[in-house]
Amino acid sequence: MRHRQLALVGQFRYYKSMNELIDASLSDLALLVRVKDNGGFSAAARITKIPQPTVSRRIATLEERVGVRLFNRTTRSVVLTEAGERVYRHAKQMLEQAEAVATALEEMNARPSGTLRLTCPVIIGQCLINEVLAQYIATYPEVRIKLEATARRVDLIEEGYDIAIRVGELPDSGLAMTPLGAAETAFFATPDYLAEATAIKDPKDLPAHPLFLFSGTLEPSVLQFSRADKKMTAELEPRFACNDVTPILNATLRNSGLAQLPRFAVQRELSTGDLVEVLPNWRLPAADINALTPSFRGSSPAVKAFLAMAKEGVRNLLQ
């Protein structure tokens, strides 16, 4: 036991000594790299703005600390010794890593600037992201923004976009994902239509009405409804299908039928009473809204600032 304690004490003293040596030598090792890379003490002094006598003294102190000569000095040149070459290779890597850390910290603290390229579905651009963008533009005037609101699937990397906002399930693409919220759809109609129409008590009553579905196809859709612990499936054939909110909304406001639309897209019409929700106790599955970024672009200040603002803004709009 006594031998083990002595061994532990010796090990502790060794690591303490090594740590003290490293802590005391880091800046001087960086200075050694400057001397080698710039061809001498005078040149290193000009680059670092440290007086030349101080540079010479610090290198001499480093040599004393490590116990070996690192430079051979003559009146005309300063050349690394063999030991100095070995130390230089490690010190060079250390300095490069330190510079990388400094650059990363500078980027993290930098104010967003440059160009931000976004893409999203049209409905997201009209009803959710437009509010976020208005705030972002006012907050970060140094950022230029390109937004493509489109139904097509944009290839972020090939087309040079920084952020794509997508709705629904996502394939495993290797892109970084930031969840923004979940959007629910529901069925809506005007009070006048409902006053004249056949009563709607549960989802199985929906097929008896003209249906305007937020969809890209006229093929029948099978929708899963839930209420508390009860579930119900309804097969719905649309009279009108569209992947844009505005045409569906216009048709519905003319008392022509029932519309399936995202809740966030009809907040104004609900607040004014122009529309009411049909089957308010039944719920359709929510669709996730995510922001995708290429991993090598996701840490830029402009992208990080937008994602932070979008997470808060979209969540508030979906409530």
Domain boundaries, given as residue ranges, for the chain: 2-109, 114-184+287-318, 185-278
Please give the pLDDT value at position 138. 95
Q: Which CATH architecture describes the domain 2-109?
A: Orthogonal Bundle (1.10)
Please give the pLDDT value at position 77. 82
CA 215 vs. chain centroid, Å, equals 29
Count CB atoms within 10 A of the CB of residue 112: 18
Please give the pLDDT value at position 173. 64
Instruction: Evaluate whether the domain defined by 114-184+287-318 bears CATH number 1.10.1740.10.
Output: no
The pTM of the full predicted model, rounded to 2 decimals, is: 0.61
- For residue 182, pLDDT over 80 is answered with yes
Count CB atoms within 10 A of the CB of residue 140: 18
Please give the pLDDT value at position 107. 64
SS3 171: coil
> How many Å apart are CA 304 and CA 311, to the nearest integer?
11
Per residue in 77-110, pLDDT (tens digit) is: 889 999 989 989 988 888 888 877 776 666 666 7
Please give the pLDDT value at position 100. 78
Give the gyration radius of the chain's Cα atoms.
33
- For residue 126, pLDDT over 80 is answered with yes
pLDDT band at 316 (very low <50, low <70, confident <90, very high): confident
> How many Å apart are CA 90 and CA 97, to the nearest integer?
11
Q: Which of 193, 317, 297 is nearest to 251 (CA)?
A: 193
Percentage of residues of the chain with pLDDT beyond 90: 48
Tell the burial category of 88 from Cβ atoms under 10 Å away from its Cβ (0-12, 13-18, 19+). Answer: buried
Instruction: Evaluate whether the domain defined by 185-278 bears CATH number 3.40.190.290.
Output: yes
The domains spanning 2-109 and 185-278 adopt the same CATH topology: no
